[in-house]
């Protein structure tokens, strides 16, 4: 069962909202290449607040993701895109329903 997850809250600098959205859409392609990241969401919580939620089968996969290309790019772009440093929380998944449909 997937029990390990991350939530990153991202607060865009004024005028950088479109850039943050574009970054997150591009990060989806990197997430697709991570075989150990079965669940990955890019989120818009308000006009200026964004988030990333991802979940993993084990702690090793979560730690690998934290040192992987998405996290590296996120931290490199943080000074330009975000009003405050990204807040990244390690969270535990207590329950999961996953139903996918073909698009």
Query: Domains, the chain, ranges and CATH?
Result: 4-83 (3.30.70.100)
Instruction: Render pLDDT for 50-92 as a digit per residue (tens, 0 to 9).
Output: 999 999 999 999 999 999 999 999 999 999 999 999 999 999 9
Residue 103, pLDDT above cutoff 50: no
Of 65, 55, 62, 47, nearest to 10 (Cα)? 47
Residue-averaged pLDDT of the chain:
93
Phi first, then psi, for residue 37 (nearest 5°) are: -120, 85
């Amino acid at each position: 069962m997937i029990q390990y997850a991350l939530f990153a809250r991202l607060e865009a600098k004024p005028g950088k909202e479109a850039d943050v959205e574009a970054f997150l859409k591009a990060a989806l392609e990197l997430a697709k290449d991570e075989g150990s990241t079965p669940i990955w969401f890019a989120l818009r919580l308000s006009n200026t607040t964004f988030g990333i939620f991802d979940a993993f089968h084990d702690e090793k996969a979560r730690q690998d993701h934290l040192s992987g290309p998405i996290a590296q790019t996120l931290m490199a772009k943080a000074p330009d895109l975000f009003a405050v440093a990204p807040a990244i929380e390690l969270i535990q998944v207590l329950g999961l329903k996953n139903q996918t449909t073909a698009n």
